[in-house]
Amino acid sequence: MTSTDTTASHTFTIRRPDDWHLHLRDGVMLEAVVADSARQFGRAIIMPNLTPPVTTAAQAEAYKLRIEAALAKAGVEEGAFTPLMTLYLTDNTPADEIARAADSGIVHGVKLYPAGATTNSDAGVTDLLGKCAGALEAMQKLGMPLLVHGEVNDPTVDVFDREAVFIERVMIPLRQRYPELKVVFEHLTTRDGVEYVRQAEGPIAATITPQHLLYNRNALFVGGIRPHWYCLPVLKRETHRQALLEAATSGNKRFFLGTDSAPHTRGSKEQSCGCAGCYTAFHAIGLYATAFETAGRLDALEAFASKNGPEFYGLPINEGTLTLQRSPTRIPDEVPVGDTTIVPLAAGEELRWQVVQSA
Ligand code: NCD
Ligand code: ZN
């Protein structure tokens, strides 16, 4: 990181970062959001929870072409942003499909959604160790990472405890059975998760979102119910936020950036049963910089955002750079999508950090 500090402004430059957990959607939504990510990130792991989900290497190839077409339409220079594709694991994913995905060169992970745990997860896995042995063995053998939505979907388990219970019921047995399987514990939200990832043996890492670094669950209820702060896994207590911020800024290579930016139209969030997901791609790196600054650890942002992720995935770090400046601006109330809008996280509030240059 190079840094200049003057009384008028503060800027710093990091290697171009990547987003290791991103929902881009499809169609009009994809066209509306993709340039926001490309402005800041060199690559992103693209989540496969479309309807229907991306379950085959051929579907991932076709989706990648649609993303590239949307990038071109948005005026993003060719090669400036690389989508790293994923498959959606089902009870029926054959080992052959994992082999095809590995051979494709474009699929970099397979996503586990416990059935019913979150948005578009109906086709998800009902019994990981019982039904997915063939796929898991192939992934372990081929070095294909398993990207885990780490929450049980058991209605008798309190929603705030679902990550901790998942560690005991699924994560520990999974990693005992497949000790060489590369696992990313996605969007970590608890102190329990941080402790598990820190002390576990073998190839494990975790992504952390900006909202879980910046907010605790009080943010959902300030002055009334605030649907634009609602995502899954849901925001937790302050003690968990502190543990996440400490992990992200610690320099530990197992923790890296994954926004989980999950755009939904304003109407689908502001209703009697609003969708889960925060739109953070618009201002992601500024949100992370704000969180790191509050911990006094802006110097640790580059490892978290630009180095630890590629190292885990076995990819080179990006050549380019991104320069951020401390110059507060107002987050817009909404971003247009076709004839509707998306409300970004913390809309209307001040954002301290801006991208001023990308090279
Ligand atoms: C995601 C979405 O909308 O696709 N929502 C969310 O709250 N994070 C799904 C997910 O990653 O859980
Ligand atoms: Zn997600």
Residue 355 has pLDDT above 80, yes or no: yes
Residue 167 burial (CB count, 10 A): 20
Q: Record the tokens describing residue 232, joined without a space.
A: 């899954």
Q: Is any atom of ligand 1 closer than 6 Å to the C-beta of 232?
A: yes
With cut-offs at 50, 70 and 90, classify the pLDDT of residue 121.
confident
- For 210-260, how does the pLDDT look when each residue is reduced to its tens digit (9 = 90+)? 999 999 999 999 999 999 999 999 999 999 999 999 999 999 999 999 999
Q: What is the pLDDT of residues 23-69, one digit of tens each?
A: 999 999 999 999 999 999 999 999 999 999 999 999 999 999 999 99
Find the mean pLDDT for residues 124-129.
94
* Cβ neighbours for 185, distance < 8 A, ≥ 6 positions apart: 148, 150, 171, 193, 196, 197, 204, 205, 206, 207
Question: In the structure, what pLDDT confidence band is assigned to residue 123 with cuts at 50, 70 and 90?
Answer: confident
What does pLDDT average to over the chain?
96
Q: Could you give the CA distance from residue 176 to residue 235 in angstroms, rounded to a whole number?
A: 29
Looking at residue 7, its pLDDT comes to 42
Pocket test for ligand 1, best of 232, 264, 265 (most atoms within 8 A of CB): 232
Q: What is the CATH number of the domain that holds 336?
A: 3.20.20.140
Least confident of 117-126, 165-174, 320-329, 334-343: 117-126
The token pair that represents 165 in the structure block: 């219970």
CA angle, residues 136, 183, 48, in degrees to nearest 5: 75
Based on the residue annotation, tell me whether 158 is a catalytic residue of this protein: no
**Does the pLDDT value for residue 119 go beyond 80?**
no
Q: What is the mean pLDDT of residues 197-201?
A: 98
Alpha carbon of 50 to ligand 2 centroid (Å): 11
Tens of pLDDT along 131-152?
999 999 999 999 999 999 999 9
Q: Does the Cβ of 23 fall within 6 Å of ligand 1?
A: yes
pLDDT at 4: 56
> 303-319, pLDDT tens digit by residue?
999 999 999 999 999 99
Measured from the Cα of 49, ligand 1's closest atom is 4
Q: What share of the chain has pLDDT > 90, as a percent?
A: 94
Ligand 1 site, residue 49, Cβ cutoff 6 A: yes
Tokens at residue 138, please? 């192939």
Contact in structure between 266 and 251 (CB atoms under 8 Å): no
Name the phi and psi angles at 39, rounded to 5: -65, -30
89: containing domain: 2-358
**Residue owning the nearest CA to atom 11 of ligand 1:** 260
Number of independent structural domains in the chain: 1
The finding on whether 231 has its CB within 6 A of some atom of ligand 1 is: yes
What is the reported pTM?
Answer: 0.97
Q: Sorting pLDDT into bands at 50, 70 and 90, what band is 122?
A: confident
Looking up tokens 């503060």, which residue turns up? 10
Res 212: pLDDT: 99
Q: For 318-351, what is each residue's pLDDT tens digit?
A: 999 999 999 999 999 999 999 999 999 999 999 9
State the pLDDT confidence band at 120, using cuts at 50, 70 and 90.
confident
Q: How far apart are CA 160 and CA 85, in angstroms?
A: 30
Residue owning the nearest CA to atom 9 of ligand 1: 119
State if residue 318 touches ligand 1 by the CB under 6 angstroms criterion. Answer: no
CA–CA distance, 99 with 78 (Å, rounded to integer): 28
| pLDDT (0 to 100) of residue 45 | 99
Q: What confidence score (pLDDT) does residue 9 get?
A: 63
Atom of ligand 1 nearest to the CA of 277: 7
User: pLDDT tens digit string along 251-296?
Assistant: 999 999 999 999 999 999 999 999 999 999 999 999 999 999 999 9
Counting Cα atoms < 13 Å in the Cβ hemisphere of 281 gives 32
- Confidence tier at 116 by pLDDT (50, 70, 90): confident
Q: Is 118 in the pocket of ligand 1 (CB under 6 A)?
A: yes
Sign of the alpha-carbon torsion through 79, 204, 111, 214: negative
pLDDT value, residue 153: 93
Q: Residue 184 carries which DSSP code?
A: E
Examine residue 114 and say whether the peptide bond preceding it is cis (omega within 30 degrees of 0): no
**Ligand 1 atom index nearest CA of 260:** 8
Pick the catalytic residue from 19, 36, 192, 260: 260
- β-partners of residue 322 are 14, 358
